[in-house]
């Protein structure tokens, strides 16, 4: 099979935006409290087995379906037009992978049109769509607003034992570009974190790997999801609500070294982390050059409430990861983005 040649293919960079996330969980009551009451999003119940959260006028930004995974199971990418949609579809099919049109029911649950689904790294299904539907009902949420638009709805962070393959996948499929790196040491483990962008947002995908050791300390497919508050007050107030409602806090409020975003990280009912941030930099393609930053934070982002039991669980997860092969998509991983 032949991979598309990036030098000859139409570029889709800038035409792709993270649009929604699909989460599988049995903890609907906790998630409703977390998403609506703590984080401050708009909540819509869709029966006993599905619910959605909104950030803006788009019908769906987070779709939660009932199931045992307690994890992210799909990422939805809004593609600006049909030509770019068909370019991405052609790349997937050129790699010999099956790209399956979404059913009417799947598209309706996500609030989109022209849905296509195909395999992604770490077993996370990737989905593309052309037209998001807007909701008739006005927003009912505690937060005053979130930043979406041309930047997409936020970002997703992954930990990996095979970061080159993940970078190669997003480069091949979406023409992702390397924004920068962070070198960090946590509990003696040296991490290299790579940040990839598909539009003006500093990064839509972050990939972290332990240097020199093929171990993944995170049980879930994603390490964290990020959404961007439009107002600084909403970051502070949601941080307080997370505490008051009894949800776990992973990292206190702080500011990142690379994208300069001010944020905190809460623990979701499914176990992965949820970052609420404010005011990250916007990339200027004419002048940007990748660089390496030492440490994830200028200040803050201190671990909160971590116990020895939690640390042992991370060590067990890392040890278990040595015995299993991480799911990649070699047909679309290409040469990757060079370090």
Question: In the chain, where are the structural domains located?
Answer: 16-132, 149-321
Residue 319 pLDDT level (bands cut at 50, 70, 90): very low
Model-wide pTM > 0.75: yes
pLDDT of residue 335: 65
Please determine, for residue 187, whether its predicted confidence score (pLDDT) is greater than 90: no
At the topology level, CATH places domain 149-321 in 2,3-Dihydroxybiphenyl 1,2-Dioxygenase; domain 1 (3.10.180)
The CATH number given to 16-132 is: 3.10.180.10
pLDDT of residue 324: 60
pLDDT of residue 162: 92
Same-fold call for 16-132 versus 149-321: yes
Residue 334 pLDDT level (bands cut at 50, 70, 90): confident
pLDDT of residue 1: 42
The long-range contacts involving 201-204, CB below 8 angstroms and separated by at least 24 positions, are 201/151, 201/152, 201/155, 201/280, 201/282, 201/283, 202/258, 202/259, 202/261, 202/280, 202/281, 202/282, 202/283, 203/155, 203/179, 203/259, 204/17, 204/18, 204/152, 204/155, 204/156, 204/176
């Amino acid at each position: 099979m032949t991979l598309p040649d990036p030098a000859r293919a139409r570029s889709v960079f800038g035409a792709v935006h993270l649009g929604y996330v699909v989460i599988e969980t049995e903890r609907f009551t906790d998630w409703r409290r977390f998403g609506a009451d703590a984080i401050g999003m708009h909540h819509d119940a869709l029966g006993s087995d599905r619910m959605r959260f909104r950030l803006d006028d788009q019908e769906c930004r987070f779709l939660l379906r009932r199931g045992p995974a307690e994890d992210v199971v799909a990422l939805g990418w809004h593609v600006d037009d049909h030509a770019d949609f068909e370019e991405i579809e052609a790349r997937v099919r050129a790699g010999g992978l099956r790209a399956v049109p979404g059913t009417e029911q799947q598209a309706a649950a996500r609030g989109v049109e022209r849905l296509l689904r195909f395999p992604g790294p770490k077993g996370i299904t990737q989905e593309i769509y052309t037209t998001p539907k807007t909701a008739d009902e006005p927003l009912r949420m505690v937060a005053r607003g979130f930043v979406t638009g041309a930047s997409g709805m936020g970002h997703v962070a992954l930990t990996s034992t095979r970061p080159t393959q993940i970078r190669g996948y997003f480069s091949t499929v979406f023409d992702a570009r390397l924004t920068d790196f962070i070198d960090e040491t946590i509990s003696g483990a040296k991490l290299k974190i790579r940040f990839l962008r598909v539009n003006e947002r500093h990064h839509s995908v972050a990939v972290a790997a332990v240097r020199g050791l093929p171990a993944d300390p995170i049980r879930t497919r994603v390490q964290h999801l990020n959404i961007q508050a439009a107002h600084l007050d909403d970051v502070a107030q949601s941080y307080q609500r997370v505490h008051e409602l009894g949800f776990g806090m992973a990292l206190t409020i702080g500011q990142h070294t690379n994208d300069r975003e001010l944020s905190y990280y809460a623990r979701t009912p499914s176990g992965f982390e949820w970052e609420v941030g404010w005011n990250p930099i916007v990339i200027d393609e004419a002048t940007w050059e990748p660089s390496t930053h030492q440490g994830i934070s200028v200040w803050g982002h201190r671990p909160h409430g971590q116990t020895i039991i939690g640390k042992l669980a991370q060590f067990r997860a890392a040890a278990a990861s040595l015995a299993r092969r991480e799911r990649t998509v070699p047909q679309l991983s290409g040469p990757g983005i060079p370090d």
